């Protein structure tokens, strides 16, 4: 495979070591990292999203971080557009694009194309929100079940964002969301060849332990103060997409006095475990080139051996700047 057409995808559940592996590969093979994380797109949400720090980003260029304020929305379609642009820029610089993250819907859209869905309609969304405020989201979930039983069956009655979107699509098109999602615009797929490394723990308990330890480190590093800062500097509500992120929602309730510290911590860890479970379920149904256990003793050597078998030698990539028109172009597009 050649540099001009090849990219690497590293996926896995939260806290499985994806970012560390991507960083090691990027440093060795001259890569640039593209975040596939729906929470890392938000500015000032650093600790709770495990966003790479300044030193890490200085060592290797990172893309699709800090794109929007926490009060804004960021769609799958925006991700696909931004990711395609980033991939193109990296390939033009003769570097290796490394996509890494656990937002499986983003991965699916990038690899398979976007569903042919209508854009958001602010007027209809406002009307749906007004109904939800009056009746509650469970009532709207019941209404959705009458027009799109398939979508309603996979959504929780409290999943406001997805219930809203499904009802919105119905009001705009008169067609159930489940029917439209099967129709994909293949022109939105990436055209480059890719190699997919999936990190799937064989022992779920080890992942749960890592999740707990990581969340405690986030608390020690100031996650609660980060949420305080967000609430003080942005006109946020707990229903916004950014504040529905794991950890942020639970700390919001803690700051509102709804939960004590121990309850907040337990709920955050439990929610993160549930997220990991959903990510693993997605991954098991996706096409993968290699699956590795991130907690196996041989993980690091197995991963690097797999990369070495499909990429050119590091020295070939180290000489890449001799082939570039501008030797100083190792920057984000």
Question: Which of 30, 21, 23, 17 lies closest to 322, judged by CA?
Answer: 30
Mean pLDDT of 23-51: 97
pLDDT of residue 327: 33
Mean of the pLDDT values across residues 110-123?
Answer: 80
**What does the pLDDT average to over 232-253?**
95
**Residue predicted with more confidence, 323 or 330:** 323
Cβ contacts of 241-244, under 8 Å, gap ≥ 24: 241/38, 241/73, 241/74, 241/161, 242/39, 242/42, 242/45, 242/70, 242/71, 243/70, 244/161
pLDDT at 331: 33
Residue-level pLDDT at 119: 79
Q: How far apart are CA 223 and CA 179, in angstroms?
A: 41
CATH code of the region 122-182: 1.10.20.140
Please tell me the distance from the alpha carbon of residue 141 to that of residue 147, in angstroms, as a whole number: 10
Across residues 115-140, what is the average pLDDT? 88
| Residue 184: its H or E element | strand 184-185
Buried b / exposed e over 22-33, threshold 16 CB at 10 Å, is: bbbbbebbbbbb
Which residues have C-beta within 8 Å of that of residue 316, sequence separation ≥ 6?
none
Query: Helices then strands (H, E): number in the chain?
Result: 15, 8
Q: Give CA separation, 175 vs 121, 170, 329, in Å.
A: 15, 5, 47
Report residue 122's pLDDT band, with 50, 70 and 90 as the boundaries: confident
**CB count in 10 Å sphere of residue 331:** 10
DSSP letters, 95-163, are: -EEEEEE--HHHHHHHHH-EE--PPP-HHHHHHHHHHHHHH-HHHHHHHHHHH-HHHHHTS-TT-HHHH
Measured from the Cβ of residue 188, the count of other Cβ atoms closer than 10 Å reads: 18
Q: Taking Cα atoms as reference points, which of 22, 41, 15 lies closest to residue 274? A: 15
250-279 mean pLDDT: 97
Q: For residue 305, how many other CB atoms are within 10 A of its CB? A: 10
- CA 35-58-327 angle, to 5 degrees, is 100
Q: What is the pLDDT of residues 182-227, one digit of tens each?
A: 665 544 445 568 899 999 999 999 999 999 999 999 999 999 999 9
In order, the DSSP letters of 7-72 are: EEEEE-STTSSHHHHHHHHHHHHTEEEEE--SSTTBTT--TTTT---HHHHHHS-EES-S-B-TTS
pLDDT of residue 318: 41
> Domain map of the chain by residue range?
6-115+185-323, 122-182
* Residue with the larger pLDDT of the pair 298 and 179: 298
Does the domain at residues 6-115+185-323 carry the CATH identifier 3.40.50.300? yes
Q: Average pLDDT, whole number, for the chain?
A: 88
pLDDT value at 121 more than 70? yes
């Amino acid at each position: 495979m050649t540099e001009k057409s090849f990219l690497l995808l590293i996926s896995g559940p939260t806290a499985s070591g994806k970012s560390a592996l991507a960083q090691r590969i990027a440093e060795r093979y001259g890569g640039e990292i593209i975040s596939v994380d729906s929470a890392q797109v938000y500015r000032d949400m650093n600790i709770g999203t495990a966003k790479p720090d300044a030193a890490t980003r200085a060592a290797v260029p990172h893309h699709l971080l800090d794109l929007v304020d926490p009060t804004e929305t960021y769609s799958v379609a925006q991700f696909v557009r931004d990711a395609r642009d980033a991939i193109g820029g990296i390939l033009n610089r003769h570097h290796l694009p490394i996509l890494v993250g656990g937002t499986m819907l983003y991965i699916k859209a990038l690899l398979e194309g976007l569903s042919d869905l209508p854009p958001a309609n602010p007027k209809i969304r406002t009307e749906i929100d007004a109904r939800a405020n009056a009746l509650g989201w469970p009532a709207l979930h019941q209404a959705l079940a009458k027009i799109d039983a398939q979508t309603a069956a996979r959504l929780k009655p409290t999943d406001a964002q997805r219930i809203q979107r499904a009802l919105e699509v119905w009001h705009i098109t008169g067609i159930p969301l489940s029917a439209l999602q099967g129709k994909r615009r293949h022109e939105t797929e990436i055209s480059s060849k890719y190699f997919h490394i999936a990190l799937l723990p064989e022992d779920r308990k080890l992942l749960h332990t890592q999740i707990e330890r990581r969340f405690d480190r986030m608390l020690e590093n100031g996650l609660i103060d980060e949420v305080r800062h967000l609430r003080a500097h942005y006109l946020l509500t707990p229903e916004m997409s950014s504040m529905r992120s794991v950890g942020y929602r639970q700390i919001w309730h803690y700051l509102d006095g709804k939960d004590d510290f121990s309850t907040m911590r337990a709920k955050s860890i439990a929610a993160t475990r549930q997220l990991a479970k959903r990510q693993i379920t997605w991954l098991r149904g996706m096409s993968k080139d290699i699956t590795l256990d991130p907690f196996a003793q041989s993980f690091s050597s197995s991963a690097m051996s797999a990369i070495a078998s499909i990429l050119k030698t590091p020295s070939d990539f180290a000489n890449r700047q001799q082939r570039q028109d501008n030797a100083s172009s190792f920057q984000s597009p």
